[in-house]
Amino acid sequence: MADYNNRRSNSRRQIENRNHSSRNRRRNDSYIHGNVVTAPQYEEAPRRSRVYRDGKRVADTKKGIRYREAMAHYSLPYCFVICVLVAVTIYLGILSIKVNNDVTKKQNSINQLEQEINILTSENEVYNYNVNSYVDTDYIIKTAKKKLGMVEAKPDQINYYKKSSSEYMKQLEDIPEK
C-alpha cells in the first residue's frame, strides 16, 4: 500500500513540476534538465552616457532623454511653419470675433429700425382713423343735395361695365349729362 501511495504522490509531483517548469520557463527563460539548472543569461543594460550642456551636467532621466530625442527632430523650417500656423490661427480667431461683433451690431440696428417702423405704422393708423372720423357721410349727402342740387341715381341710370383683365376700364362713349 505504501508503494501505491508513493507512486501516486510521485505522479502528482511530476504533473505539478511540469506546470511549474512551464511557468518558470516563461518567467525566467530558464530550463531545468533533470537535476541540472542552466544559469539564466542576462543582457547587460546599456550604460548611460552623461550629458553636459554649457559645462553643467544635465539630469539623465528617461523623461529627459525622450524630451531631448523629441527636440532633436525640430528644425528651423519646422519651427517657422509652426509659428506661421499659430499666427494664422490667431488672425482667423480675431477676424471671426470681429465678424461676429459686426453681425451683432447690424442685428441690433435692424431691431431698432423695426421698432421705429412699428411706431410709425401705429401713428399712421391713428392719423388715418382721425381723418376718417371727421368725414361724416350724412353731412356730405345733405350738402350735395341742398347746396349743389345733386340727386341720387335711379337704378335704370346706373350702367355696369365688365372689368378688363388689365384692371382699367375703357370708355366706349361719353357719359351723358342728363
Residue 48: inside a domain, yes or no? no
Residue 103: inside a domain, yes or no? no
Residue 16: inside a domain, yes or no? yes
Residue 148: inside a domain, yes or no? no
Structural domains counted in the chain: 1
pLDDT band with cut points at 50, 70 and 90 for residue 24: very low
Percentage of the chain with pLDDT > 70?
A: 70
Dihedral (CA of 76, 78, 79, 80) sign: positive
Nearest to 41 by CA among 30, 51, 33, 32: 30
Residue 112: inside a domain, yes or no? no
Nearest to 108 by CA among 94, 121, 116: 116
pLDDT of residue 56: 75
Residue 125: inside a domain, yes or no? no
> What would the mean pLDDT of 7-19 be, rounded to a whole number?
58
Nearest to 29 by CA among 128, 70, 21: 21
Residue 64: inside a domain, yes or no? no
Domain that holds residue 14: 1-37
pLDDT band with cut points at 50, 70 and 90 for residue 51: low
Contact present, 82 and 73 (Cβ < 8 Å): no
Is residue 9 pLDDT above 70, yes or no? no
Residue 159: inside a domain, yes or no? no
> What would the mean pLDDT of 91-98 be, rounded to a whole number?
97
